[in-house]
Amino acid sequence: MIEWFTWVEVGAALLAGLLCVALGLAGRMPGDLSVGATLAVELLLIAQLVITIVAPFVGNHPTGSLLEFYIYLVAALLIPPIAVVWALLQRDRWSTVILGVASLAIAVMAYRMHIIWTVQIA
Amino acid sequence: MSTTPSSPKSSRAVGVGRVLITVYAILAIGATSRSVFQIITEYSSAPLAITLSAVSSVVYILATVALILPGTFWYRVAWVTISFELAGVLIVGTLSLVRPDLFAHNSVWSYYGIGYLLIPLVLPVLGMLWLRRRAPGRSDA
């Protein structure tokens, strides 16, 4: 895995999450900024997927379980699009908070995935 | 926080309740994917813990659905599933401390859900408070 990319992903998701939660609690409706931030997190996850597919072919193998990594990655990929649809069904301040919660969950999952990839199996 | 109290659709999937449902859905996705992985790879090594993981993920999915759908039937399903979760996290959380041998592999509820930032412990309580506020037949709380 490309470690710096993981940290960019965790950092971006954390920032996007905190930003959207703050905007929502401040009473802001979902807008270009909050939806855009959520989509940016999704794009990073797609990039992560591409990296994950390519990595083993260039000699970058996980020490942990590749299957477990993929299961987490697929679950993570589903979250931002579902959250955007769910958030926009009813537009109010809570829609923006929902987008934030989704990105915060991605931050945690991306960190977990890093541990799964690099863990030393006994 | 007065969002159309007696909406013809769902009285639970409104306002801050939608954030609660989001957290439920994420937990359901997380618990289900972990459980699928455990069943595929390590079922025989800890059947009790892994079966529990599977049961808990089904309950999270049911609770999420029950919170979204309108009507008194789903209101009851929400109470049952959320109570089950609270009981689960308290019982399994305690057991994982006193009988760690039973839980060689972690479930969502091990150590009161510490692996999920204790969200499994807090969420059912918030869920119950929300259900009480949104009880059918009550105009609004």
How many CB contacts within 8 angstroms connect chain A with chain B?
Answer: 51
Instruction: State whether residue B127 is helix, strand or coil.
Output: helix
- How many separate helices (H) and strands (E) can be counted in chain A? 4, 0
B138: in domain: no
Q: Which of A86-95, B31-40, B97-106 has the lowest mean pLDDT?
A: B97-106
From A71, A90, A102, residue closest to B22, measured CB to CB: A102
Contact residues on chain B for A87, CB-CB shorter than 8 A: 18
Closest-CA distance of chain A to residue B67, Å: 13
A65/B41 Cβ within 8 A: yes
Q: Where in the sequence is the domain holding B55, given as residue range(s)? A: 16-133
Q: Each residue of A23-82: pLDDT tens digit?
A: 999 999 999 999 999 999 999 999 999 999 999 899 998 888 899 999 999 999 999 999
Q: Which amino acid is at B58?
A: V
- Which is nearest to B82 in space by CA: B139, B17, B35? B17
On the question of pLDDT at B73 being above 50, the answer is yes
B33: in domain: yes
A67/B15 Cβ within 8 A: no
Contact residues on chain B for A83, CB-CB shorter than 8 A: 22
- Which is nearest to B46 in space by CA: B1, B84, B103? B103
**B 98-127 → A contacts, CB under 8 A:** 117
Scan for tokens 């972690």, then name that residue: B106
Structure confidence at residue B7 as a pLDDT band (50, 70, 90): very low
Tokens of residue B28, six digits? 């359901």
B1: in domain: no
ipTM of the complex: 0.92
On the question of pLDDT at A111 being above 60, the answer is yes
B11: in domain: no
Task: Using only the alpha carbons of chain A, give its radius of gyration.
Answer: 15
**Percentage above 70 pLDDT, chain B:** 88
Tell me the C-alpha to C-alpha distance, in Å, between residue B18 and each of A5, A99, B25, B138: 32, 11, 10, 19
Q: Which residue of B has its CA nearest to A91?
A: B15
Which whole number is the average pLDDT over B88-99?
91
> What pLDDT was estimated at residue B1?
46
User: Total structural domains in chain B?
Assistant: 1
